[in-house]
Structure 1
Amino acid sequence: MTEPNITLATPVDGIMRRWPATIRSFLDHRMNCPGCPIACFHSVADACREHHVDAEAFLAGLRIRTAEAA
């Protein structure tokens, strides 16, 4: 199995749909992305900027969650 290719440019809606376990990562960082009507337009970088979350650290956490879900 290949490693998920999640980057800062990946839309958050696509991440949450493909790997539902990642929703916990968004909620743990108090990000309102799950259920947000504009999540399909926001990249990981956009969401992190809007919620004042360190993008690289958050991205690393998403990659861990997706690897665990595989």
Structure 2
Amino acid sequence: MSVDEIMRRWPATIRVMIRHRMLCIGCPIGIFHTVADAAAAHAMEEAALTAELLAAMRSDPSADAPSAFEANAHNPEPREGEQSCA
């Protein structure tokens, strides 16, 4: 999961990024970077960053919100002209 998706799905994780002065918020590369990528780019220990993000995710009241990438999960049929991934 990308850091962009993590921040969108669990907004409480944004505070972790701010606390560590990470430039991931609004970064156009955030849609591609994993937590491992972001930790490496900011010279951080991945395990420590992951632990902080998980704690923020668990405390986030919007944790049950659907993922931005699951918007079409309720409509799996391809629209006219689209091909199925199956």
TM range (shorter): 0.7 to 0.9
State the Cα RMSD in Å: 0.8
For residue 56 of structure 1, the aligned residue among 18, 23, 47 is 47
Q: Which amino acid aligns with 1:28?
A: R
Displaced runs of 4 or more, over 2 A: none
More helix by share: 1
- The aligned residue for residue 8 of structure 2 is 17
Percentage of matched positions with identical amino acids: 49
SS of equivalent residue, structure 2 residue 25:
coil
Deviation at 1:27, TM superposition (A): 1.0
Give 1:1-70 correspondences, 5 Å limit.
Answer: 10-70=1-61
In the alignment, structure 1 segments of 5+ residues that lack a partner are: 1-9
Structure 1 residue 44, shift from structure 2 partner: 0.3
Q: How far apart, in 2, do the equivalents of 1:68 and 1:61 lie?
A: 11
After TM superposition, the score normalised by the length of structure 1 is 0.83
1:39-65 alpha-carbon deviations (Å, 9 max, x no partner): 001000000000001110010000100
- How many residues are matched? 61
Bigger RCO of structures 1 and 2 (CA < 8 A, at least 6 apart): 1
Higher gyration radius (CA) = 2
